[in-house]
Amino acid sequence: MALLITDECINCDVCEPECPNGAISQGEEIYVIDHNLCTECVGHYETSQCVEVCPVDCIPMNPDHEETKEELLEKYNRIVSETA
């Protein structure tokens, strides 16, 4: 399942540089996560780095984009092969 940033985001800028897939970017009002690039850090880290650094706990799972660990790993492999 991809992650999402809620409207509780305070635009502190700490999550964007932590994303190894470049899935986080500044939206119109708050940061947003591209579910096509979010692997919850599967393939990179044991935990989602944006969630780890978020000071306001505004990055839950996105219920509209449920994925298994296997699907997230497949997405990671696709992203890595496209950037290689």
Domain range summary for the chain, segments of one domain joined by +: 16-83
Can you give the pLDDT at residue 84? Answer: 72
The DSSP string of 6-42 is -TT----S-SGGG-TT--EEE-SSSEEE-TTT--TTT
Mean pLDDT to the nearest integer, 14-43: 97
CA distance 31 to 6: 9
**Residue 31 φ/ψ region, left for φ over 0, alpha for ψ in the -120 to 50 degree band, beta for the rest:** beta
Residue located via tokens 């997230």 = 72
CA distance 33 to 64: 13
Topology of domain 16-83, CATH: Alpha-Beta Plaits (3.30.70)
pLDDT tens-place string over residues 69-80 = 999 999 999 999
Total residues found in the chain within this entry: 84
Mean pLDDT to the nearest integer, 1-24: 96
pLDDT tens-place string over residues 39-67 = 999 999 999 999 999 999 999 999 999 99
